Structure 1
């Protein structure tokens, strides 16, 4: 399935040409991010360029680039197995063009290796698909990555990632709700910028019957601040609020919810394509 972007290739070119002092972070919309360190190491997390499954699941934001336009990447991290986190047309061409490795928990790697058969369908080797689990740590260039627990009741095996760099520490929670493990993560790491999924409750057609069904996939306002507080985030960046019709939300309301708690110390609002300094 070919992916088309109305944005052409300006975003991959901007990332490739960037020369950050520490770590630059780009928001790709949905739950996708790119991290680039001062040494040039480039990590993608949950990049998704698909359109969803219209008319049930409808993408509300542009496709920010085409996967074939990415020529510089060292790793892709997947937080769990859902299609907007593991998606062959979005991710496999990046692996094929750059030689990057794909890291994810067992069920996410199984989608890539078995269900979508990336080694057969794309120019990707089996060795590029690396299974990780909670408690693992590994280096990708100038970054040290820690695989941590997450709680997503809609996923079979979700994880979160703490990405450490001498320029700062980044946390990506995937689609996790508040988790018992977050207070421990907050004690062990000094997190400068943390990403948590935010959305509203909407009525979606049921996948099998088409019946309108109340659907809640992401944190509401109170859950998001609870998770950020447990993680002791200096800065909270809400994600996913822009993506799906009927589940979109307004992240600026979080200023009111965060006002009376110590963490997060600051709310960072980003739109698709924005660059944030870690």
Structure 2
């Protein structure tokens, strides 16, 4: 500890000592991991944020976000233009408190090959993370996203030459990793106002491709489908025909009454079947106190339905900060953090008796 005396304790000293809660633990793990040939490694950064590392050690990150939700009761009412105000006709602030620690330090990221964002919502596109990557990553990597995302980056001061606007059908090559941009089904993005885009009449459906996209990320070790905040769509089946998907990352949570925003447990199973994926990993359920999901519901229903519907995919229940290695973990159902003490009895124990009962 940097402070040894209670009279030297300050709020800033406390923040410096405990925040981010994981320090550089995950940064170090990602940096030092050498992904074996024919495999791909993923780490969950909370919410829909995922770090993907190929067997050529190429790193791309999607929806890297280190923000917060509500942190005081003393907030004004929702703006009438806010998506939930438009959807519900309500004005009370959403009680969405962040429930997870910061598992990664964005200011200690030095090695990265591409920064991808799926859409412009503030829990996916982060000013602080953007600044940290722009300032500290050694190479001048591309910032990739749909038009609304890029317009927001530009408004924050990201150089235009660093930004790449993408839309469904585009293909971006990052070293050995191929990124295919495809359709989003995030209907919430259609009722959200964005920076730099014209606000259409409220009865006009905006252009989804300018606001949100999904990504298909192909590596030598497997293909990852990042579904961002897509709602369930029958068009997932088209993506299942178009792409050979190994891992599908999909947004799951509990929708409050009057809200339609995340997929339910049955939606996740339907989407996984439609995408013809080998593994489905529900994300987003972890982060908001008022939408906190229980992914065990997905596992329960999968066990109930798998024989009847001949499911060929496996669900994987992850934990923020955890690692997933494909194909090694493709039939693993649940993640648990490393338990430690692997070196037990490497040295003589120091007890007044033989066993600690």
Compute the TM-score of the two structures, normalised by the length of structure 1: 0.88
The C-alpha deviation readout for 1:133-167, integer Å capped at 9, x for no partner, is 01001111111010010111111422111011111
CA distance in 2, matches of 1:145, 1:172: 11
Match of 1:158 among 207, 212, 225: 212
Q: 1:219 aligns with which of 248, 256, 263?
A: 263
Cα distance, 1:274 vs structure 2: 0.5
Equivalent of 1:198 in 232, 246, 252: 252
Q: 2:182 aligns with which of 148, 154, 177?
A: 148
Which aligned pairs between 1:20-169 and structure 2 lie closer than 5 A?
20-21=35-36, 22-55=39-72, 56-98=95-137, 99-114=140-155, 117-119=156-158, 125-156=159-190, 157-169=211-223
Equivalent residues of 2:214, 2:227 under 8 A apart: yes
Alpha-carbon separation, structure 1, partners of 2:169 and 2:273: 22
Distance in structure 2 (CA, Å) of the matches to 1:143 and 1:92 = 24
Between structure 1 and structure 2, the one with the greater Rg is 2
Superposed, 1:263-274 pairs within 5 Å as 263=311, 265-274=313-322
Task: Report the RMSD for the aligned CA atoms in angstroms.
Answer: 1.7
1:245-256 mapped onto 2 (5 Å cutoff): 245-256=289-300
**Bigger share in strand:** 1
2:29 is matched with: 14
Of 260-269 and 21-30, deviating more is: 260-269
Alpha-carbon displacement from aligned partner over 1:206-259 (angstroms, at most 9, x marks no partner): xxxxxxxx4342111122222111111110000001100110011011123334
Q: How many residues align?
A: 260
Structure 1: which 4+ aligned runs deviate by more than 4 Å? none
Which structure 1 segments of 5+ residues have no match?
120-124, 204-213
> Counterparts of 1:237 and 1:118 in 2: how far apart (Å)?
34
Within the alignment, does 1:5 sit opposite 2:13 as a pair?
no
- Three-state SS of the structure 2 residue aligned to 1:185 is helix
Counterpart contact for 2:70–2:97, Cα < 8 Å: yes
Q: Structure 2: where are the runs of 5+ without partners?
A: 1-14, 73-94, 191-210, 327-357
SS of 2:188's equivalent in the other structure is: coil
